[in-house]
Amino acid sequence: MKQSVKLIVGNWKMNGLSAALAQAEAIRDAVSAAGQGPRVVLCPPATLIDRISAALADSGVAVGGQDCHEKPVGAFTGSVSAEMLADAGATVVILGHSERRAAFGETDADVAAKVEAAIAAGLEPIVCVGETLEQREAGEAIAVVSAQVEGSLPMGLSERDFAVAYEPVWAIGTGLTPTLEQIAEVHAAIRAAMIKRLGDSARTAPILYGGSVKPENARDILATPEVGGALVGGASLKAEDFMPIVKAAA
Ligand SMILES: O=C(CO)COP(=O)(O)O
């Protein structure tokens, strides 16, 4: 397997008033001082994308959205389209996060439609999959994530830049993480499902791990087979927590 540059993505979720700009700038400066390293993306709330994109222009840090609507424009009060994210300066978008699947009832078909919208707007989608604790305890983790990959990745992704993120729901914000063996097992299953769905073009898209990634566990997780990077929640909000993770991926 070829060693490619890792992808480290910070998902700020619904955190970040304008004061958060200082953290983005601190991350930008630290990434630039660190020199050669992973690809780094920050995904602030939609209200900050414009300003953070301006602050990070021509730096080694890209900006992403956390969700998008499946339609480009129209009467959808409160929604933000992929084109609007791109217009604000985003180049990436997280889709199908478990918080959206659970709290907003997003189905695999909804996620696939959003992925198509992201591609049409020129954004690189990061498609999230992951099992609940109940599903893991029932021995269904592999079947659940494989089905989510099958249902959430539209055929239009072939030959496009995209990533999949494995985020076990029970590991998000809990401080719990799967063992390295469990991560390797699920990532291998995700790779197989991606290839089954999209063919050989899906051999190189990175599969990120997300769920309680911290400075203390990042190095081991990132060295696990088929882990192409990390999707980081809480630890991405402060440069002092995020940068050790970025450096662990260098
Ligand atoms: O949901 C996540 C990233 O998308 C993970 O969140 P935490 O890193 O806070 O567990």
Q: How many CB atoms lie within 10 A of CB 50?
A: 15
Model confidence pLDDT, tens digit, residues 179-197: 999 999 999 999 999 999 9
Give percent helix, percent strand, percent coil of the chain, each to the nearest 5.
50, 15, 35
pLDDT number for residue 159: 87
Ligand 1 atom nearest to CA at 97:
4
Q: Is the pLDDT of residue 2 over 80?
A: no
Superfamily per CATH, domain 7-248:
Aldolase class I (3.20.20.70)
Q: Is 167 a catalytic residue?
A: yes
| pLDDT, mean of residues 68-97 | 98
In this structure, what token pair is assigned to residue 4? 């490619």
Q: Is the pLDDT of residue 1 over 70?
A: no
Residue 61's DSSP bridge partners are 40
Model confidence pLDDT, tens digit, residues 201-231: 899 999 999 999 999 999 999 999 999 999 9
**Residue 175, ligand 1, Cβ within 6 A:** no
Percentage of residues in the chain with pLDDT exceeding 90? 94
Residues 230 and 208: their CA atoms lie apart, in Å, by 5
CB 38 within 8 A of CB 8: yes
Catalytic residue among 97, 106, 131, 226: 97
Rg (CA), the chain: 17
Closest CA to 52 of 78, 5, 19: 19
- Tell me the residue length of the chain: 250
- Whether 173 has a binding-site annotation, put simply, is yes
- Whether 12 has a binding-site annotation, put simply, is yes
Closest CA to 69 of 60, 77, 58, 59: 77
pLDDT number for residue 107: 98
Which amino acid, residue 8?
Answer: I
Burial of 241 (C-beta count, 10 Å sphere; 0-12/13-18/19+): middle
Checking phi first, is residue 154 left (phi over 0); if not, alpha (psi -120 to 50) or beta? beta
User: Which value does ipTM take for this structure?
Assistant: 0.99
pLDDT number for residue 16: 87
pLDDT number for residue 3: 59
Percentage of residues in the chain with pLDDT exceeding 70? 99
**Residue 172, ligand 1, Cβ within 6 A:** yes
- Residue 126 sits at φ, ψ, to 5 deg, of -115, 110
Residues 124 and 156: their CA atoms lie apart, in Å, by 12
Confidence bin at 156 (pLDDT 50/70/90)? confident
Torsion 231-219-190-162 (CA) sign: positive
Model confidence pLDDT, tens digit, residues 24-74: 999 999 999 999 899 999 999 999 999 999 999 999 999 999 999 999 999
CB 191 within 8 A of CB 226: yes
In this structure, what token pair is assigned to residue 117? 């919208």
Q: Is 124 a catalytic residue?
A: no
**Residue 167, ligand 1, Cβ within 6 A:** yes
Query: pLDDT higher for 4 or 116?
Result: 116
- Whether 233 has a binding-site annotation, put simply, is yes
**Residue 67, ligand 1, Cβ within 6 A:** no
